[in-house]
Amino acid sequence: MKETEAEAVAMAECVLCRKPTEYPESTRGSTLCPVCEWQEAERTACSG
């Protein structure tokens, strides 16, 4: 069985919850999973 590209690349862990992210491990900086990324954007959004 042939591996897909996503399976061949190790994914980085979320810096908040440690779940896999959509980014490869080689990504620099703080990586967030989709849920934490959405919550962080909600927290930092302009409220007015």
Number of structural domains found in the chain: 1
3-state secondary structure 6-42: HHHCCEEECCCCCCEEEEECCCCCCCCCHHHHHHHHH
Average pLDDT over residues 3-8: 58
Using one digit for the tens of pLDDT, what is the confidence trace for 25-47? 999 999 999 999 999 999 988 76
At 34, which amino acid appears?
P
pLDDT at 12: 95
**Domain boundaries, position 25:** 5-44
Is the pTM higher than 0.85? no
pLDDT at 5: 56
47: phi then psi, degrees, rounded to nearest 5: -95, 0
